[in-house]
């Protein structure tokens, strides 16, 4: 398995160590008194965003993460040691969701970002803590507090500036391979792309990240084909490049089908800025090209771009159109996040 974008994990912080009941019993010390130390604090569970990862595959093989318990206190006023923390390392773009899969706990978008998922329990007080002017020899201590435990969902949404959408065999992977150094699998049959891919585009001294996802077919929102689960990877994109295959039977109908699936999926994808392009223009004769452009323009209400990844016809124009749309969308308000208090 090369790519995993969702995983369920169990996290538990460490229990606090118990306080100690102890009294000094040394020769020649007349009034020893209590000297029980406090228990150590349990370890925390953290999630950290790191570079070098682009999948959640590590969490396929380990789902339970438990921090160490705090050590118990001991005599001579010795406090117990703190339990070791546990750190879950995730790639940028990972969302941490509660067990209901709806409550957003944290959105890990920046390398180095750390969020505490479960706080370790406090250690208990030893009997020395309870010494007062009227109670000179307390014989009780506190147990440590229990740690916290949660079932959480990790969901990866690739961070890209622009995303490619379209039917299978619309030329998305070929376009990605043409404009970036990415090497996606390319073949003349549907569903060649089985997992999302990323590439860095360079145009006019500027760069942006382009994401390619598996193609959509009719009924994808109901699980037909590969379904719409990969659409989450273009939710963060500022703009979409919608490629419509020029060699399809009806370019307008192909465009409408994908738009229907985007609207059924929701999550704001239907409202994202969109650049529409008729792909595989090199395989069309002038009459067919004009007919497909007319059908597509009638469906979209605007003149689509014409491109061919094989001959690079219109490729630069499409990239510049994406850059212009991204610049226009750069001032959008950031997504609100739910505060997490472990």
Distance, CA of 275 to CA of 260 (rounded, Å): 16
Q: Read off the pLDDT of residues 158-213 as tens digits, 9 standing for 90 and up.
A: 888 899 999 988 888 889 999 998 787 777 666 777 778 888 898 888 889 998 88
- Residue 120 scores a pLDDT above 50: yes
Q: Name 305's Cβ contacts closer than 8 Å, sequence gap at least 6.
A: 275, 276, 277, 278, 314, 317, 318, 321
> 48-62, 85-99, 204-218, 324-338: which has the minimum mean pLDDT?
324-338
Query: Residue 206 has what pLDDT?
Result: 87
pLDDT of 336: 42
- 200: exposed, middle or buried (Cβ count in 10 Å: 0-12, 13-18, 19+): middle
Task: Point out the annotated binding site for GTP.
Answer: 166-173, 191-195, 212-215, 279-282, 308-310
Matching CATH number, 162-329, of 3.40.50.300, 3.40.50.9100, 3.30.565.10, 2.170.190.11:
3.40.50.300
297 pairs with which residues across the strands? none
Q: Is the separation of the CB atoms in 314 and 303 below 8 Å?
A: no
Which residue shows structure tokens 């009459």? 287
Question: Can you give the pLDDT at residue 333?
Answer: 46
The reply to whether 162-329 shares the fold of 1-156 is no
Q: How many CB atoms lie within 10 A of CB 342?
A: 16
Q: DSSP secondary-structure letter at 314?
A: T
Q: Model confidence over 32-65: pLDDT tens digits?
A: 889 999 999 999 999 999 998 888 989 999 999 9
Average pLDDT, the chain: 88
Domain 1-156 homologous superfamily, CATH: GTP1/OBG domain (2.70.210.12)
Q: Which residues are annotated as a binding site for Mg(2+)?
A: 173, 193
All structural domains of the chain with their residue ranges: 1-156, 162-329
Reduced 3-state DSSP string for 60-82: HHCCEEECCCCCCCECCCECCCC
CA distance 163 to 185: 17
Owner of token pair 């749309």? 325
The secondary structure element, H or E, covering residue 198 is strand 197-203
Query: Which residues are annotated binding-site positions?
Result: 166-173, 191-195, 212-215, 279-282, 308-310
- The answer to whether the CB of 180 falls within 8 A of the CB of 160 is no
């Amino acid at each position: 398995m090369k790519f995993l974008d969702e995983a369920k994990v169990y996290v538990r912080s460490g229990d606090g160590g118990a306080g100690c009941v102890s009294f000094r019993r040394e020769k020649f010390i007349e009034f020893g008194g209590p000297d029980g130390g406090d228990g150590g604090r349990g370890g925390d569970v953290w999630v950290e965003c790191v570079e070098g990862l682009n999948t959640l595959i590590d969490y396929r093989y380990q789902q339970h993460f438990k921090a160490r318990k705090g050590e118990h206190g001991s005599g001579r006023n010795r406090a117990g040691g703190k339990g070791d923390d546990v750190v879950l390392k995730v790639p940028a773009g990972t969302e941490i969701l509660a067990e209901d899969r709806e409550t957003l706990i944290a959105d890990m978008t920046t390398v180095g970002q750390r969020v505490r998922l479960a706080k370790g329990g406090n250690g208990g007080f030893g009997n020395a803590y309870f010494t007062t002017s009227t109670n000179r020899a307390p014989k009780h201590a506190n147990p440590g507090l229990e740690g916290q435990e949660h079932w959480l969902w990790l969901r990866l949404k690739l961070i890209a500036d622009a995303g490619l959408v379209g039917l299978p065999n619309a030329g998305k992977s070929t376009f990605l391979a043409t404009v970036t150094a990415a090497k996606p699998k390319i073949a003349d049959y549907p569903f060649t792309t089985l997992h999302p891919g990323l590439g860095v585009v360079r145009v006019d001294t500027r760069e942006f990240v382009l994401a390619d996802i598996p193609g959509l077919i009719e009924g994808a929102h109901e699980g037909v084909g590969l379904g719409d689960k990969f659409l989450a990877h273009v939710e963060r994109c500022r703009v979409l490049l919608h490629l419509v295959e020029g060699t399809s039977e009806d370019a307008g109908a192909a465009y409408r089908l994908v738009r229907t699936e985007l609207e059924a999926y929701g999550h704001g994808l239907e409202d994202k800025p969109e650049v529409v392009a008729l792909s595989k223009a090199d395989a069309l004769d002038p009459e067919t090209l004009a007919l497909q452009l007319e059908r597509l323009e009638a469906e979209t209400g605007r003149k689509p771009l014409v491109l061919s990844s094989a001959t690079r016809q219109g490729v630069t124009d499409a990239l510049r159109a994406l850059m212009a749309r991204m610049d226009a969308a750069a001032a959008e308000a950031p997504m609100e996040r739910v505060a997490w208090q472990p």
